A and B are shown apart, each in its own frame.
Chain A
Amino acid sequence: MLKGIGASQGFGIGKAIIIEDVKLDYSAVKYSDAESEKARLSKAVEDFISETKHMADELKLTAGEKEAEILEGHITMLGDPFMLSQMNDSIDAGNVAEAAADSVFQMFYDMFASVEDELMRQRASDVKDIRDTLLRILLGLKSVDISAVPKGSILIAKDFTPSMTSQIKKENVSAIITEIGGVTSHSAILARAMGIPAALSVLNSTEIISDGDLLIVDGFKGEVITEPTGDQIKEYTLKQEAYLKEKESLNVYFNKPTITKSGLVKKVYGNIGKAEDAQNVVQNGGEGIGLFRTEFLFMDRDRAPTEQEQFEAYSTVAKTMDEKEVIIRTLDIGGDKNIPYLDIEKEENPFLGHRAIRYCLDNKELFKTQLRAILRAAVFGDIKIMIPLVTTVDEIKKAKALIKECADELENEGLSYKLVPVGVMIETPSAAIISDLLAKEAAFFSIGTNDLTGYTMAVDRGNAKVSALYDCFQPSVLRAIEMTIKNAKKEGIPVGMCGEAAANTELIPKLIEWGLDEFSVTPSSILQTRKTICENE
Chain B
Amino acid sequence: MVSKDFTIKNKMGLHMRPAQVFVTEMNKFSSTVNIKFAGKDINGKGIMGIMAACIKCGAEITVECDGADEQAMLDAASALIENGFGEE
Contacts and interface: CB of A to CB of B under 8 A. Distances in A.
Contacts of B49: 80, 82
A117 B56 contact: yes
Contacts of A83: 46, 48
Q: Which of B15, B48, B52 has the most CB of A within 10 A?
A: B48
B11 to A, nearest CB: 6
Interface of A: 69, 73, 76-77, 79-83, 108, 111-112, 115-117, 119-120, 123, 319, 379-381, 416
Given A76-B24, A108-B52, A380 B11 contact: yes
18 contacts: A69-B17, A73-B16, A73-B17, A77-B48, A79-B47, A80-B23, A81-B27, A112-B51, A115-B52, A115-B54, A116-B54, A117-B56, A123-B16, A123-B51, A379-B11, A379-B57, A379-B58, A380-B11
Interface string B9-30: 0011001110010011001000
A119 B45 CA distance: 22
Contacts of A77: 47-48, 51
Contact of B52 (A112, A380, A416): A112
B3 interface: no
Contact of A82 (B20, B45, B54): B45
Given A112-B52, A117-B54, A379-B57, 13 more contacts: A73-B17, A77-B51, A81-B43, A81-B46, A82-B45, A82-B48, A112-B51, A115-B54, A117-B56, A120-B51, A123-B51, A379-B11, A381-B11
B15 A120 contact: yes
B54 A120 contact: yes
A166 to B, nearest CB: 17
Contacts, number: 55
A115 B48 CA distance: 13
Contact of A73 (B12, B20, B45): B20
A303 B73 CA distance: 50
A83 B45 CA distance: 11
Q: Which of B17, B45, B46, B58 has the most CB of A within 10 A?
A: B46
A86 to B, nearest CB: 10
A62 B47 CA distance: 28
Contacts of B23: 76, 80
A81 B49 CA distance: 11
Q: Which of A83, A120, A319 has the most CB of B within 10 A?
A: A120
Contacts of B56: 117
B24 to A, nearest CB: 7
A123 B17 CA distance: 12
Contacts of A112: 51-52
A104 to B, nearest CB: 9
A111 B57 CA distance: 20
Q: Which of A73, A82, A83, A117 has the most CB of B within 10 A?
A: A82
Contacts of B46: 80-83
Contacts of A379: 11, 57-58
A80 B47 contact: yes
B9 to A, nearest CB: 11
Top 4 A-B residue pairs of the complex, sorted by shortest distance between their CB atoms: A82-B46, A80-B46, A416-B58, A111-B52
A495 B16 CA distance: 38
Interface string B44-88: 011111011010111000000000000000000000000000000
A84 to B, nearest CB: 9
Contacts of B51: 77, 112, 120, 123
Nearest to A117: B54
Nearest to A127: B48
A88 to B, nearest CB: 14
B86 to A, nearest CB: 14
A81 B29 CA distance: 14
Contact of B57 (A80, A120, A416): A416
Contacts of B45: 81-82
B60 to A, nearest CB: 11
